[in-house]
Amino acid sequence: MNENLFASFIAPMILGLPLVTLIVLFPSLLFPTSNRLINNRLISLQQWMLQLVSKQMMSIHNTKGQTWTLMLMSLILFIGSTNLLGLLPHSFTPTTQLSMNLGMAIPLWAGAVITGFRNKTKTSLAHFLPQGTPTPLIPMLVIIETISLFIQPMALAVRLTANITAGHLLIHLIGGATLALMSISTTTAFITFIVLILLTILEFAVAMIQAYVFTLLVSLYLHDNT
* Averaged confidence pLDDT in the chain: 82
Within-domain flag for 172: yes
What is the DSSP track for 147-191?
Answer: HHHHHHHHHHHHHHHHHHHHHHHHHHHHHHHHHHHTTT-HHHHHH
pLDDT of residue 1: 46
Average pLDDT, stretch 123-138?
76
Q: DSSP letter string over 46-68?
A: HHHHHHHHHHHHHTT--HHHHTT
| Cα 10 from Cα 17, distance rounded (Å) | 13
Top mean-pLDDT range of 82-96, 129-143, 156-170: 156-170
pTM: 0.79
Residue 1 lies in a domain: no
pLDDT in tens, 32-52: 666 776 777 777 777 788 888
- Judge whether 180 lies within some domain: yes
Closest to 60 measured CA to CA, from 69, 70, 73: 69
Cα separation values, 132 from 123, 153, 170, Å: 15, 28, 48
Q: Please give the tally of structural domains in the chain.
A: 1
Confidence (pLDDT) at 16: 64
Categorize the per-residue pLDDT at 154 as very low, low, confident or very high, splitting at 50, 70 and 90.
very high
In a domain, 99, yes or no: yes
Instruction: Residue 81: give the domain boundaries.
Output: 7-225
Whole-angstrom distance, CA of residue 46 vs CA of residue 44:
5
- What angle is formed at CA 91 by the lines to CA 71 and CA 180, rounded to 5 degrees? 140
173 domain residue, yes or no:
yes
Backbone angles phi, psi at 95, to 5 degrees: -75, 0
